[in-house]
């Protein structure tokens, strides 16, 4: 997802867990709503818990591909890599887990 103000890539690491449907630009601190799109049929959709488990067990590593945070049928414009799970506590926040229940995974 790109910032509408400065066109820099927005970071999911910076979004406010109390407002999990908004992203924050790492360059200009602009906050904007996160868009959701249809999940492509080539994506592997799994629950967020399963994705976390696979990352923790080494079943997914950054080299394998990337995912998008998602609901059951829509993908957010928020990309996630396995290393983000190990390095970011924001995914444990109840509001984040309530909205982003799935991950759409894209193998390389």
- Strand pairing of 31-33 and 22-25? antiparallel
Q: What is the pLDDT of residue 90?
A: 65
Q: Where are the domains positioned within the chain?
A: 35-107
Please tell me whether residue 28 adopts helix, strand or coil conformation: coil
Q: Is it the case that residue 7 has pLDDT exceeding 70?
A: no
Range with lowest mean pLDDT among 20-24, 34-38, 48-52, 72-76 = 20-24
For the segment 8-33, the average pLDDT, to the nearest whole number, is 63
The pTM for the full model equals: 0.76
pLDDT at 34: 78
Residue 24 has pLDDT above 70, yes or no: no
The 10 Å Cβ neighbour count of residue 31 is 16
Q: Distance (Å, rounded) from C-alpha 11 to C-alpha 43?
A: 22
Query: Which residues on neighbouring strands pair with residue 80, listed in sequence order?
Result: 67
Q: Which of 6-15, 36-45, 51-60 has the lowest mean pLDDT?
A: 6-15
């Amino acid at each position: 997802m790109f910032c509408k103000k400065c066109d820099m890539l927005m970071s999911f690491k910076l979004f406010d867990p109390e407002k999990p449907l908004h992203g924050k630009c790492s360059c200009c601190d602009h906050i904007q709503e996160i868009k959701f799109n249809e999940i492509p049929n080539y994506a592997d959709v799994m629950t967020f818990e399963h994705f976390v488990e696979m990352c923790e067990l080494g079943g997914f590593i950054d080299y394998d591909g990337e995912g998008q945070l998602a609901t059951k049928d829509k993908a957010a414009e928020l990309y996630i890599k396995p290393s983000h799970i190990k390095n970011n506590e924001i995914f444990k926040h109840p509001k984040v887990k309530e909205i982003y229940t799935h991950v759409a995974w894209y193998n390389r």
